[in-house]
Structure 1
C-alpha cells in the first residue's frame, strides 16, 4: 500500500535528507570511527522548505 506523503515541498539542497554523518578518517580508542553530524543550512534539518509567495509586487 502507498504511504501517506505530506504535501510539503522537499528541500532542493538536501533532497529530503537533512542530516548526514561524515567520517573524519580517525578512530576512537575503542576502534570506532569518529563521525560528524551535519545538518542542511537551507532547511535547518527539517528536510522541507516553506513555499514562498509566487506573486511579487513590481513597479509603483
Structure 2
C-alpha cells in the first residue's frame, strides 16, 4: 500500500540535496580522500522549506 507524504516545497537553494561531500584534494595515510560535509544554509540540511504563510503566522 502506498505511503502518503505531505507536500512540502523543495528548497530552492539545494534542490532537495541538503548535504554534500566535497573532496579536499588531500589523502589520509591509508589512501582514502579527505572530505568535507557541507549542509545547505537555506534549509539547514532538511531539503525542504517552510511555506511563506506559516512564516507570517509565526511572527505574530
Structure 1 gap segments, 5+ residues each: none
CA deviation after TM superposition for structure 1 residue 6, in Å: 3.1
- The number of equivalent residue pairs is 54
TM-score, scaled to structure 1:
0.79
Which structure would you say has the larger Rg?
A: 1
Match of 1:38 in 2: 38
Aligned-partner Cα distance in 2 for 1:4–1:19: 24
Structure 2 gap segments, 5+ residues each: none
TM-score, scaled to structure 2:
0.79
More helix per residue: 1 or 2?
Answer: 2
